[in-house]
Amino acid sequence: MVHLHGGNVLFIISLRAAGPRKMSIGRLLATLYAVLFLALSLFAGISFLQSYQELRNLRRQAAESQQKLADAEQRLQEQERYLTQLSNDPEFVENVIRKKLGYARPSEVIFRFPE
């Protein structure tokens, strides 16, 4: 709306309640792309969290397996030392036979007490 007032042009803009407008194709596509981007971002975030949790679980399992391996290697070394002593040390063999099998020399008497 245009009003002339003393040689000056006065523009008055009317602010009416806008009724339902038709959305343009460009705006519709922009909104669609935004929604699609948000959905893909959400999917990527969820996938990342699941992968990260799986990675943490695999690292924990690897650490547990490493500990079990270290324990098994230590037991193996102890058993190898024991076997070496059995193979090379007659006094050790005699002590093992006496303790584990309860053997004694003919002149010895073994006393066993209930535990």
Between the alpha carbon of residue 108 and those of residues 10, 66, 90, 102, 105, the distances in Å are: 131, 49, 19, 11, 5
At 57 the pLDDT is 98
Consecutive H or E run containing 23? none
- The answer to whether residue 32 sits within a structural domain is no
- The answer to whether residue 7 sits within a structural domain is no
The pLDDT profile of the chain, 115 residues, written as one tens digit per residue, is: 544 455 555 555 555 555 556 669 989 999 999 999 999 999 999 999 999 999 999 999 999 999 999 999 999 999 999 999 999 999 999 999 888 888 888 888 888 789 7
- The answer to whether residue 94 sits within a structural domain is yes
- The answer to whether residue 71 sits within a structural domain is yes
- The answer to whether residue 21 sits within a structural domain is no
- The answer to whether residue 50 sits within a structural domain is yes
- The answer to whether residue 20 sits within a structural domain is no
Residue 62 belongs to what domain range?
41-98
Side-chain half-sphere CA neighbours of 14 within 13 A? 6
At 74 the pLDDT is 97
- The answer to whether residue 113 sits within a structural domain is no
Its pTM stands at 0.52
At 7 the pLDDT is 54
At 2 the pLDDT is 46
Question: How many independent structural domains does the chain possess?
Answer: 1
